[in-house]
Amino acid sequence: MDKYSLNAFAVAFTQKAFQKQGYSIEESPASLGEVNFLAIPDKGTPKKIKVRSAAKPASYIFITKDKFNINDTDLYLAVVYVPGDPKDAILYVIPAIEWGKNIYPFIGRDYNKQGQISPPEWGISPSQKAIDAMESYRGLQKVIS
C-alpha cells in the first residue's frame, strides 16, 4: 500500500471505529484547520480527530505544532498502525494534551538551532518500545472515558 492509500485507509478505519462506538462522523469544517473529521457523540462535546498512519513500528509520526494545539481538550491524534495486512490494523487514540505532560513516547521538537529549517513539531518516538508504551491508548478508551 502506498503512502496515500495507507492514509486514506487510516482515516476510513478510524471513522468506522468511532461509528461502532455510537459517534456520528462529520467532515471537518475549514475553520478547524488540519483536522480530518469530527466525531459527534449523542451527548457531550464533538471530538476533533487528526489521523496519522504507520506501516512499520519504527515509523516517526509527527504533526507540526501550528496544526496541533496540545491545549485543546477536544483534539485527538488517531494513529493507525498497519503492520502488513490491513485486517491487522491497530488504532491508538491519543488526547492532544498528552504532549504537554512530557511523557514517553510523546515528544516535541523545536528545530531552533542554527541551520535547522524544519517547523516545530509534536511527534511519537519511533521504536517498538514506543508502540509498547502506547498500549493504554489502544482503541477508544481515552476518548470515551
Lookup: cell for 39: 466525531
Contact between residue 25 and residue 19 where contact means Cβ atoms under 8 Å apart:
yes
- Distance separating alpha carbons of residues 45 and 43, to the nearest angstrom: 7
- Distance separating alpha carbons of residues 8 and 6, to the nearest angstrom: 6
CA–chain centroid gap for 84, Å, is 19
- Distance separating alpha carbons of residues 63 and 21, to the nearest angstrom: 26
Please give the chain's pLDDT, 145 residues, in tens: 788 899 999 999 999 999 999 999 998 776 556 799 999 999 989 999 999 999 887 789 999 999 999 999 999 999 999 988 889 999 999 999 999 998 999 999 999 889 888 999 999 988 888 888 999 999 987 776 5
